[in-house]
Structure 1
Amino acid sequence: MIKSSLFQIEQDIAWEKAGEGIQRQIYGYDDQIMLVKAKFEAGAVGVLHQHYHSQVTYVESGVFEMSIGDEKKILKKGDGYYIPPHVVHGCLCVEAGLLIDVFSPHREDF
Structure 2
Amino acid sequence: MLRGSSFLKEKECEWEAAGEGISRKVTGHNTQMMMVKVKFEKGATGYVHDHFHTQSSYVASGKFKITIDGDSEILEAGDTFFVQPNLKHGAECLEAGVLIDVFSPLREDFLK
- Taking structure 1 as the reference length, the TM-score comes to 0.95
Q: How many residues align?
A: 107
Unpaired segments of 5 or more residues in structure 1?
Answer: none
Question: Secondary structure of 2:11's match?
Answer: helix
Given residue 92 of structure 1, which amino acid in structure 2 is its aligned partner? E
Query: Where do 1:77-96 residues align within 5 Å?
Result: 77-96=77-96
| Consecutive aligned runs of 4 or more in structure 1 exceeding 2 Å deviation | none
> Secondary structure at 2:32's aligned position in 1?
coil
Match of 2:22 in 1: 22
Structure 2: unaligned runs, 5 residues or longer: none
Alpha carbon RMSD of aligned pairs, Å? Answer: 0.9
Instruction: Quote how far apart the aligned CAs of 1:77 are.
Output: 0.4
CA displacement at 1:6 relative to structure 2: 1.2
2:8 equivalent in structure 1: 8
- The answer to whether 1:55 aligns with 2:42 is no
Deviation, structure 1 residue 5: 1.8
